[in-house]
Amino acid sequence: MLREMLKAARVGALPVTPETEAAIRSACSATLDIRQRLMVALGLIEGGGDDT
């Protein structure tokens, strides 16, 4: 889904709907979560205590 959205955005055909915005926000949140977990796993930062 994200790849298709990226392609549409590149050609100026990405419709801005509540669903599109929700998908982008969800992808950003997931990316930030992955980044945080990776940095903790590499020992670059301490964990926040809410690891699952």
Question: Do you know the residue count of the chain?
Answer: 52
pTM score, whole prediction:
0.67
Tokens representing 1 are 């889904």
Q: How confident is the model at residue 47 (pLDDT cuts 50, 70, 90)?
A: confident
Q: Which of 21-25, 28-32, 48-52 has the highest mean pLDDT?
A: 28-32
Supply the pLDDT for residue 33: 97
CA–CA separation, 41 vs 38, rounded Å?
Answer: 5
Annotate 11-21 with b (16+ C-beta within 10 A) or e (fewer).
eeeeeeeeeee
Supply the pLDDT for residue 25: 93
CA–CA separation, 47 vs 41, rounded Å?
Answer: 9
